[in-house]
Structure 1
Amino acid sequence: MSVEILDVIPDKLEYWPGETITGKVILKVKNSSIQSQGIFLNFKGGATVEIMEQVRRMQSGNRRSSTLIEHYAYPNSENLLSITNFLAGDGRTSLTHREGDTTYPFSIQLPSHLVSSYYRISAPIHYRDSGTQCKGQVLYYLEVGMMMAGMAAHVSQKTIAIHAHLDLTTVPETTQAGEAEATKTFCNCWSCCFGCQSGPFILKVRTDKRGYLPGETIAFEVEVRNESGRIIREISAQFIEAATMVGQGKTECAIIPLGEMVVSNQEFRAEDENWRGELVVPMEGTVYPSKLGGGCGIISVEYFIKIVAHANGCGNQDLEVSSSVIIGTCRGGASRVPSAKIKSYLKCKFNRHSSTFIQYFLINK
């Protein structure tokens, strides 16, 4: 006697807060009947963060020098939701499941507010460099299993995507104009020893509003006031995600460029010049509602348009300025329709470390 199949099949894989998850659980028993204390169906959600830090240190020995590479992990997790239910039995009383197929329909009412599903990983660290890599995820899943001898058995899971609500009409700042400014003075290379500084270089960016939906166009205007004497060879614009992830003992902000970069393809030689451009907000599934709709304590997501002026000259001659934007899911309460195809981030999972660890590698020089 054995359980051949115990699986949960939801009617769809993407939901909005306040909706009802419906579907069925299929049990197939072969050879003969079996005993259990019931079949449970849970719906769970949680956030996980893992910050990996790599530190490169130099060591000197009697005969040779070497590089010491130390790895540190700062994991963290937060439970966001747990709904438990028994489809058959109560977890205590003995229950007989006869040979053959049995179907259990189910429905689970979602709360009216949930954090958005999310997955992001920052760029990897080169094995010889110091740096950090961040992984963050908000995951929801259905979990079905059978209680046998007081323990969960035949457990299987099915991931569900949650699209959090963020109505832009409820956030007053979204209708306000966006504006940011940065200033820099350059050191003249031929007179660095004398501390000679150039005149100021001022970079401003403006947008007519701050709130946008996925797929919309952000029109921006860049104002350049250049008294530095340097030629600005070009200006670039990029849509940026800033994901703040809170590990146990360390907090990092991962900066992730999204979409295509826009470049001015012109030089700026005059003291006062302007450049107008457009950026397209990536589609849903690539971007998420700002702050993931709110309510997550270890992952916070914000968006910016980053403007970089690239000046001629030696050293770091770039000046950048970032203006924040707010990404929502609707205006006026009408929900955007989720795509029929499940997002790729739902398939992503990563292992969590229970404690900080250190690994040592010696690289001979």
Structure 2
Amino acid sequence: MGKLKSLYIQLENPKAEYRSGQIINGSLVMESSKEMIVKDIRVTFKGFAEVLWMIVGRLGERSYTSYYTASELYLDQTVPLYGKGAGVGNKNYIPPGKYVYPFSFALPQNLPSSFQGYHGFVRYIVSGTIEKSMKKKYEAEHQLIIIADLDLNEVPNAACMTEKEEDKYICCLCCMSGPITCKLTTDKLGYIPGETISFHVEIQNFSGKICKNYVKFYWISTYRSKKSFITSVEIIEKVKHRRVQSGRSESWTGNLSIALKSPISNLEGCSIIDIDYYVELVVVPINSFEKNIHVPIKIIIGTTPLKMDNKRGQLMSGLSTFELEVPGDLRLQSIHPTARKSEIFNIESSPFHERIFGSEDMNDEDDDRRRRYDWSD
């Protein structure tokens, strides 16, 4: 019996980042200490999405747990490298030594972007297999990052400055005070990772209450099964401002940063996970039983920036083409699965962009995207 010392996949692109339609070039590398009898050597490319969450409840004196799950398959293709699949036969003798089997694979068009969230993921993997018999085989795998193109120049109104305004009357005991008028304006609707969102806030406080106010930048991920859905909210950045006194007005500007590794909006091509980004003004009347005032504007994060001649758009008031009414007090709904089931999501308390894409250092041999196997004693 032959003895395999190591088996791993080596890609020409060390970052393992690709766009739909691009060609993946790499090699399956194996090293054996003795002669091996091999039936087949191949690499397989897979792309898929999975969502999973659970709801724990109580009905009378009895508790129950409901699981919700869904999956989609985008890619499952095998490339033969040697042996039966390559037309060489199913009994091949390989002398001891190190062997490199190159491969090349063209990705299909319109693949959804890679994504890792609280209750689901979109994942791409290339796996290498050495099959010795029907019951014995060796495998190694490498995670791929797929980035779907979203050209902001093709998104209507992406270059337009957008504003939204909300009014609210505050009750003071038995009397109705004047309104609180809140307006939020963003410099445009479409951005790419690494850009800065510029915003402007105007607040007129004619109520009898002092108001705290801040602007937050957050994203909502929605996970769907056939019977239900769940959302999770993550605050990316929050900018606070001084309080607005009763009978006074306040106007201020600020900036919000978009991380370089932010996932693209919408997750086009995936029907069980959605991603939406919002910039929202929140005004909090102090010592009041009234709910906070929320002024959200939905923005789009794409891959291709706006051209210079598209950056001067007209002002859009009220709800834009992309805006979605968000409940005023939308809270994080993160009911995690059991530890055993949540392992498939690799949920970690790491920074935002690292949880989505992992470490930026792809040259580390211990990176979890590349699994290198060693069968030596």
TM-score, normalised by the number of residues in structure 2: 0.74
Encode CA deviations 1:41-85: one digit per residue, 9 max, x unaligned: 1111111111222335674xxxxxxxx654322111111222221
Listed as ranges, the matches of 1:1-365 within 5 Å are: 1=1, 2-11=3-12, 12=14, 13-36=16-39, 38-55=40-57, 59=61, 69-91=63-85, 93-100=89-96, 101-121=98-118, 135-150=119-134, 153-188=137-172, 190-191=173-174, 197-232=176-211, 234-258=212-236, 260-270=237-247, 272-281=249-258, 283-285=259-261, 287-292=262-267, 294-331=268-305, 341-342=361-362, 347=368
- Percent same amino acid at aligned positions? 29
**Residue 174 of structure 1: how far off its partner (Å):** 0.8
Closer, same or farther: CA 342–53 of 1 in aligned 2, 3 Å: farther
Change (3 A) 1:54 1:275: farther
C-alpha distance in 2 between matches for 1:332 and 1:308: 29
Unmatched 5+ residue regions in structure 1?
A: 60-67, 122-134, 349-365
Name the aligned partner's letter for residue 202 of structure 2: E
Aligned residues: 311
Maintained 8 Å contact 2:223/2:272 = yes
Distance (Å, rounded) in 1 between the aligned partners of 2:289 and 2:163: 28
Deviation (angstroms), 1:343: 11
For the structure 1 residues 184 and 249, does the alpha-carbon distance in structure 2 shift closer, same or farther, using more than 3 Å as the test?
Answer: same
Q: Which string of whole-angstrom CA distances, capped at 9 and with x for unpartnered residues, describes residues 280-338 of structure 1?
A: 22x222x211113x1111111110102111211233542111101111122269xxxx9
Give the AA of the match of 2:225: G
Tell me the equivalent position of 1:353.
Answer: none
TM-score by length of 1: 0.77
Give distance in 1, aligned partners of 2:275 and 2:136: 36
Structure 2 gaps, min length 5: 308-356, 370-377
Aligned CA distance change for structure 1 residues 347 and 51 (closer, same or farther; 3 Å): farther
Aligned-residue CA RMSD (Å) = 2.8
Number of the residue aligned with 1:63 = none
Aligned partner letter, 1:74: Y
Relative distance call for 1:14 and 1:211 in structure 2 (3 A) is same
CA–CA distance in 2 between the matches of 1:225 and 1:110? 54
- The 2-side partners of 1:173 and 1:7 are apart by 47
* Partner Cα distance (1:347, 1:319) in 2: 44
Deviations 1:201-223 (A, max 9, x none): 33221112101122222111122
Offset of residue 254 of structure 1 = 1.5
Q: Larger % of strand: which?
A: 1
Q: CA deviation at 1:176?
A: 1.8
The secondary structure found in structure 1 opposite 2:153 is helix
Letter in 2 for 1:86: P
